[in-house]
Amino acid sequence: MSTPAHRRHDMSDRVWALLEPHLLGQKGQWGRVARDNRLFINAVFWILRTGAPWRDLPSDYGDWKNTHRRFCRWRDKGIWARLQERLIREPDCEWLMIDASHIKVHPHASGAQGGNQDMGVTKGG
């Protein structure tokens, strides 16, 4: 069975092992057992990483309305904040995101006088 291309955004088994013990809905906890926490979190990560609207969530992640509703419940209960606090104690470079984007402009648009000598050089070269 082939894996959809969007699955490249899914978390690794190693990351899941760090995250799973801190989640709600596990067997033996108060309340009902969560249907599939890993699939739900992967769906949320897909939305966050792609910037797509909830309606565009691929159907193999589950119904977008239920996923969004559950995301909002976790947000309102502070679950996302608690997970972040717990995981920040165990830094992992896989979660690190750096925005290195930059925009080059024409010298006239930057307000530089007499050419581009007043424009800054990007760190990448």
Per residue in 79-94, pLDDT (tens digit) is: 888 888 877 765 555 5
Q: What is the residue-level pLDDT of the chain in tens, covering all 125 positions?
A: 445 655 777 888 888 888 887 776 566 555 454 568 889 999 998 998 889 999 999 999 999 999 999 999 889 988 888 888 877 765 555 555 555 555 566 666 656 565 555 555 555 55
What is the DSSP secondary-structure string of 43-107? Answer: HHHHHHHH---GGGS-GGG--HHHHHHHHHHHHHHTHHHHHHHHHHTS--GGG-----------H
Alpha-carbon gap, residue 77 to 81, rounded angstroms = 9
Query: Does the reported pTM lie above 0.75?
Result: no
